[in-house]
Structure 1
Amino acid sequence: MIIDTHCHIYSSEMENAEEIISEAGNNGICVILNGIDVSSNKEVLELVAKYDNAYAALGYFYSVADEITDEDIALLDSQIENDNVVAVGEIGLDYYYTKDNADKQKELFEKMLDLAQKHDLPVIVHSRKSMQDTFDILKKHDVVGSMHCYQGSAEMAREFIKLGFYIGIGGPITYKNNKKTKKVIKTMDINHMLVETDSPYLTPQDKRGEKNTPLNLKYIIREIAHELDLDEDEVIEITTENAKTLFKI
């Protein structure tokens, strides 16, 4: 078994979502489907009820920080009680396009972390151009989780690991000019690493131009094995155990 710890496989992102989930299962891949808003959270719950190889992570993303209401928070609070939910996510901060609503992003992020604490669930965190704020907020909460598609430094990765976080490694590790992520994985223990695709995004180098799917985990695993001088089976075994431990699968 291999666990794709982060993907967005539902109809608003991929027309053939159910086919992709089924195909992943036929290839020994479990998927954690990450919702980001009211509609995708609803669909994720519907999908994971149908497929034994699919688990749910529910949350409200930074992109909806300006529109989420108290009623939406209450809805998510109730949805998280579903037995198929293994994490609160995808949540976090993103200042890449704008910091104008940074305060609202932080407020929503904190509410998501509060829900994770309440339900004793790990979190799946997005952080882009916002690493220090993300770290400072996580320090204030008693949570563990995954730093999805980690883009920070090796030094900061060690600080997140100290907080109890795993480092999510996806398609960008295969990009020839991505020396930063390659350095990160070489300076950390693989026992703190997860593999993910972020399907349909961040397609590995060998499949650039196509929508990403969980089947492309093999390219990510191959690159990690190459960089760390490990057997691919060893990378699969360790990262799968890491995911099972974090998400209690």
Structure 2
Amino acid sequence: MIIDTHCHIYGSEMENAEEIIEKAAEYGIRLILNGTDPKSNEDVLELSGRYDNVHAALGYLYTFADEATEEDICLLDNQLKSNDVIAVGEIGLDYYHTKDNMDKQKELFEKMLELAEKHSLPVIVHSRKAMQDTFDILKNHEVVGSMHCYQGSAEMGQQFIKLGFYIGIAGPITHTNNKKIRKMVKKIDIGHMLVETDSPYLSPEEKRGEMNTSLNIKYITGKIAEELGMSEEEVIEITTENAKRLFKI
């Protein structure tokens, strides 16, 4: 078994989502589907209720910051009571795409963390060009979780680990020009790593130009193994146990 700890395999993101979910099950791949808004959260809940290899993470991402209402927050609060939900995610900050609504992003992020505390759930955090603000907010909450597709420094990664977070490694580790991530991975204990595809995004080097799926997770575990001088089987075993521990799977 291997766990893809972050993907978006549902109808609003891809037409053949269920086909991919069923294929992943054949290969022993469990999926943590991440919602980002009310529509995708509904998709995730519906699929997690029908497929044994699917787990639900529900949240509102920065892309929903300008639209989120108190009614939306109440809806999510109720959805998080479902037994199929194992995390609050995808949530977080992104100053790469826009800085115009930084305050709204932070406000929504805070509300997501408060819901995670209320329901005693781990969080799955997106942070791009906002690493310090992300850290400063997280340290004020009693939460643990995953730093999704982490692309920061090893030094900052260690600070997140001290807060109780795992470091999510995705397709960019395989990209020829991304030496930064490969350097970072060598400085992070594998006991604090998770593997993820972010499907249908962030295809590994071997599948550049194609839609990414969870079946490509083998390229990520293979590259981690290569960088750390371990067998791929060891990488799969350790990261799977990490995910099971964090998400109580």
TM-score by length of 1: 0.99
Instruction: State the match for 1:74 in structure 2.
Output: 74
Code of the aligned partner of 1:58? L
Residue deviations 1:43-94, cap 9 Å, x none?
1000011100000000000001011000000000000010010000000000
How far does residue 100 in structure 1 lie from its aligned partner after superposition?
A: 1.1
| Unmatched tracts of structure 1, length 5 or more | none
**RMSD, matched Cα:** 0.4
Cα distance in structure 2, aligned partners of 1:221 and 1:85: 26
Match of 1:237 in 2: 237
Give how far 1:235 is off. 0.1
For 1:230, give the aligned amino acid: M
- Corresponding residue SS for 1:49: helix
- The one-letter amino acid of 1:107's match is E
Residue 94 of structure 2 corresponds to which residue in structure 1?
94
Superposed structure 1 runs of 4+ greater than 3 Å apart: none
Match of 2:175 in 1: 175
Q: Which residue of 1 aligns with 2:155?
A: 155
Residue aligning to 1:218: 218
Cα drift, residue 98 of structure 1: 1.6
SS at 1:23's partner residue? Answer: helix
SS at match of 1:136: helix
- Distance in 1, matches of 2:210 and 2:147, equals 25
Count how many residue pairs are aligned between Structure 1 and Structure 2. 249
1:177, CA displacement in angstroms? 1.0
Secondary structure (helix, strand or coil) at the match of 2:50 reads coil
Structure 2 gap segments, 5+ residues each: none
Q: Which residue does the alignment assign to 1:38?
A: 38
Q: Counterpart of 1:155 in structure 2: which amino acid?
A: E
CA apart distance, 1:233:
0.2
- Indicate whether 1:129 and 2:132 are aligned: no
Instruction: Read off the aligned partner of 1:163 and give its amino acid letter.
Output: L
Q: How far apart, CA to CA, are the structure 1 residues paired with 2:200 and 2:43?
A: 16
Question: What amino acid sits opposite 2:181 in the alignment?
Answer: T
Give the Cα–Cα distance (whole angstroms) in 2 for the partners of residues 208 and 146 of structure 1: 25
